[in-house]
Chains A and B, each alone.
Chain A
Amino acid sequence: MIKNTRKSQSDLALIGTPMRKIEGLDKSTGRAVYTDDIVLPGMLHGKILRSPYPHARIVSIDVSEAKKLEGVHAVITGEDIPTKYGIIPWTADEYPLCTDRVRYIGDGVAAVAAVDEDQAIRALELIQVEYEELPAFLDPYEALAADGSTPYVHEPKKEGGNGNVTKQVQLEFGEVDELMVGSDVIVEGQYFFEGSTHTPIEPHCAIGLWDGVGKLTVWSATQVPHYLHRELARVLELDPARVRVLQPLVGGAFGGKSEPFDLEFCVAKLSMLAARPVKILYTREEVFYAHRGRHPFHMKYQMGSTNEGKLTSVNAEILLDGGAYASFGLVTTYYAGQLLCAPYSMPAYRFDSTRLYTNKPACGPKRGHGSVQPRFAFEIQIDKLSEKVGLDPFEFRRRNFIGSNTRTVNEMRVTSNGFLECLESVERASRWRRKFRRLPFGRGVGVAGSTYISGTNYPIYPNEMPQSGVQMQVDRSGRVSVFSGASEIGQGCDSMVAYIAAEELGVPLEYVRVLRGDTDFTPVDLGAYSSRVTFMLGNAAIDAATKLREMVQKAVAGEWEVEVSEVLLAGGMAMWAPDTERQMPIREAFNLAESAFGTLGATGWYNTPKDIHGEYRGGTIGASPAYSFTAHVAEVEVDVETGVVEVEKIWIAHDCGRALNPVLVEGQMEGSAYMGFGEALMEEQIFKSAEQGRAGLHNAPSLLDYRIPTSLDTPELESLIVESIDPEGPYGAKEAGEGPLHPSIPAIANAIYDAIGVRVDRLPFSPPNMWRAIERAREAGTLGVPQLPDGPQVATGKPQTKTVSSRS
């Protein structure tokens, strides 16, 4: 475990200041290379044939005509790769190509490699597949009620069990029923979170290259090169030492590329058979079917409070609509409950969470994995409780603040916690007290809070090795080379390690090269998921850089005959602290160190604490070395005649520990809030029903019909960074990439209530859904601005950390 001794901003030269990204100019000049930009000599193009049925038995596949087509070099079916894969080792339930059964419209059944894309498409048309259709499960409640009279989506794990159930979790902490009954007020609600998908602008793409004598190379737009490496070797029965995964820059991912996909196995196998490199690029439609996005959640919440506004008990029942495969679903089922126990203290909590298989594309992790949906429901419940006990919703949240250096009811360790400062920042910036319940009918403000993990204490496959490693070397020109296996998906992790190398070794940023994205020469980093990268890779980079710095300091101190601790490395120079006029260029310092110690290199690593979690089954899931905290205020305008909701502005305050580069932190905050806004108002990953003619067909698999916010839709976003300086984070940093998504949705829901007195309990808040809710309120006579609470409006608690940046 790494302890940072240097915590004050005055001790830091670069960290904490606005900096460019190391690949920024490559991206703005078109030089940046993404997977589909790569063309190899003799490269073939692959295509995957996909099921037109949501649930069917494969009776036969005839590929003979496709094989005869001119220009076709290889054709494969499920029989060619008959090993299951899956990101969670215990729930591997997918074949690269289906062997005997298809489970959603879009499931792959065969793949071809041909001289060009046109010829590959012609070859697919020649493949004859005979299917025997099976009844499909499209509704999770029907999947739950299934009795086995028609085939389950998967075979039951136990005789007589329901094969449609992926996972069920029931956990209880404290005296839930007793405290609920004893509550002064109880609020109950049912909520539905519609599924949504990531839609990175770059479609999935992979290239396979078999060298003919045993070595496989795969380029892929993946967030998890290490897991892909492992799964390729295992599924294709290759020696992992002879598999190489390259990860070019990734054009957006958001969780949608965080597990192996069929195309990666197919390009590999097709290349092995064709003895030529093979590329597959998903069409946009295939990206929608590959999915792994936000699970639809059906949720029931019962929450109690005292008259003074202290939470007493929380009881939740959640049904997750998982789609055809497990993906990360085991974790999602836990996260649905486990990640809700901060930033508010709750004496008792129970959740019952069940994930069902259905015959639709598999759901998985999307930014804010597993906790965005329950947070939507929970923060509306908090708003309802505040109103019932007559408190301003800010005041209610403050009264239940869990604090720092504490444990949650489910025994997660919380260290740094800047949630109060987040609340204060958005309350002030939004001029909340002038607006809440005071704006004219149709306009309103809402607040919500949240927490998120900075990585998980336990890796996906059990092992004791570091979660992240970095190798660093310095050379005779003064340059620093950083070998990083982390996944640059736009969040800036390549730049982040460069900032750390420059900070610790005192070189200008342009002296740092980051060599990345290749499992042949980079240490393992587990991937860009669960908001782990800055925390873990950052600590690994500090570890490596510190080792090098100490060698350079020693060598210079020897030369000058001074104390090692008096040698500073900064601004491209080595300096003597007592008299900084005494200095030498960093290149000379590196040369002295190389003379003293030999060729200079160091590795650094980070591993998570392993003994800090609840001692119960599932207690390790959700355990993180640090938690981030967020609060949003949204201001909306609602047209009750049309049901159109306009979000005018979202104020985003986020406790990221320390902003290593505030420009990038703000980018994550704004991107997160934008993505939550899109889910709140417009996005729906939905499928046609049998009555609509094609059960299980995606309703709108295009970027025209699946609406994501354009520049004209997106509200004004204001980022307010809060720094709590985490004791274990690199320079005190925590995550910023996922937490700030959560409160967008409930803040908008609560603002709608403030505007027109209508509670919205299902996503999205689209005109049709809003119109129905407004009509119900009109009939019930509840349309109107709600009453101002009569309880205390004054803030309590003195903030200890500061808001460092405020912009519009």
Chain B
Amino acid sequence: MPAATQIVRLNVNGDLREIGVPMHFTLLEALRYELGLTGSKQGCDKGDCGACTVILDGRPTLSCITPVCEAEGHSIMTVEGLADTDGPHPLQDAFDLHGAAQCGFCTPGILCSAAALLEQTISPSRKEIKEALSGNLCRCTGYSKIYDAVMSAAQRLQVEAHLDGSSQ
């Protein structure tokens, strides 16, 4: 028997999308299977690994344990929404530059956690970065290169903020 479906409206990366999904679908399933946004990953489907992390109203959120209906009315940002017309987000560029993504499977979730952190502060300490990423398991890097990348992106944001300030 097909599961009962529902219509949900999601605000994803600035687009308002309407989809019909089974009642039990998680936000991750809706993103990956209905909207084709496969950047967010399923690593455990239990909220343990953080690979599915997206940004919900500015907060890092585990989409694999968020029922899709609860995401209605909220602003959802996924890894696909981090870049803009100017190019990749400074974090995305820094992850590439510093070798912070090895297999890359945890990377979208880590980027979302890190991006949410940098929305709070553009001068995080290494300790704050560690804490912000403590819900995202990476099995490849030992985290060192990830800290380097987040620090370097933060520095770029600081420089940009300084330039913006001085040009005004």
A interface residues (Cβ-Cβ under 8 A, vs B)? 20-21, 23-34, 36-37, 39, 70-71, 118, 198-203, 249-254, 281, 283-284, 489-492, 663-664, 666-667, 670-675, 702-704, 708, 710-712, 714, 716-717
Contacts and interface: CB of A to CB of B under 8 A. Distances in A.
7 contacts: A24-B101, A28-B104, A29-B92, A200-B105, A250-B103, A254-B139, A710-B135
Interface in B134-151: 134-146
Interface stretch (B38-46, B55-63, B66-74, B158-166): B38-46
B59 to A, nearest CB: 18
Nearest to B148: A807
Contact of A251 (B97, B100, B103): B103
Q: Which 10 A-B pairs have the closest CB atoms?
A: A30-B39, A490-B103, A251-B105, A674-B142, A27-B104, A24-B96, A490-B102, A670-B142, A30-B79, A703-B48
Interface in B76-107: 78-80, 82-83, 88, 91-93, 95-107
Contacts of A666: 99, 144-145
Contacts of B79: 28-30
Given A20-B96, A37-B38, A703-B44, A27 B141 contact: no
B4 to A, nearest CB: 11
Contact of B96 (A21, A199, A202): A21
B142 A29 contact: no
Nearest to A205: B42
A238 B140 CA distance: 36
Which secondary structure characterizes the binding site on chain B?
A: loop
Interface residues of B, number: 60
Contacts of B91: 28
Contacts of A118: 3, 22
Contacts of A23: 104
Given A29-B92, A666-B144, 5 more contacts: A201-B43, A201-B137, A664-B99, A711-B133, A714-B143
A670 B134 contact: no
B154 interface: no
Nearest to B80: A30
B103 A702 contact: no
Contacts of B134: 710-712
A312 B48 CA distance: 49
B131 interface: yes
A284 B107 contact: no
B1 to A, nearest CB: 7
Contacts of A675: 139, 142
B30 interface: no
Contacts of B135: 710
A223 B80 CA distance: 27
B14 to A, nearest CB: 15
Given A20-B97, A667-B99, A34 B141 contact: no
Contacts of B104: 23, 26-28, 32, 249, 251, 490
A490 B59 CA distance: 28
B139 A252 contact: yes
B105 A252 contact: yes
B130 A712 contact: yes
B144 A704 contact: no
Given A283-B45, A667-B102, A710 B137 contact: yes
Contacts of B43: 201-203, 251, 284, 703
A247 to B, nearest CB: 13
Q: Is the interface of A mostly helix, strand, loop or mixed?
A: loop
Contact of B88 (A28, A489, A664): A28
A32 B101 CA distance: 11
Nearest to A492: B102
Contacts of A33: 38
Nearest to B46: A702
A251 B46 CA distance: 18
B111 interface: yes
B49 interface: yes
B103 A667 contact: no
A130 to B, nearest CB: 27
Contacts of B41: 34, 201-202, 251
B27 interface: no
A675 B137 CA distance: 12
Contacts of A28: 79, 88, 91-93, 95-96, 100-101, 104, 107, 111
Contact of B140 (A26, A252, A702): A252
A497 B78 CA distance: 32
A664 B104 CA distance: 13
A671 B91 CA distance: 21
Interface string B103-137: 11111100100000000000000000111011111
A667 B88 contact: no
Contact of A671 (B44, B130, B141): B141
B102 A671 contact: yes
A667 B141 contact: yes
A253 B99 CA distance: 18
A319 B131 CA distance: 41
Nearest to A704: B48
A670 B107 CA distance: 17
Contact of B103 (A37, A252, A664): A252
B10 interface: no
B77 to A, nearest CB: 11
Contacts of B2: 71
Given A27-B107, A201-B41, A201-B138, A667 B145 contact: yes
A32 B129 CA distance: 25
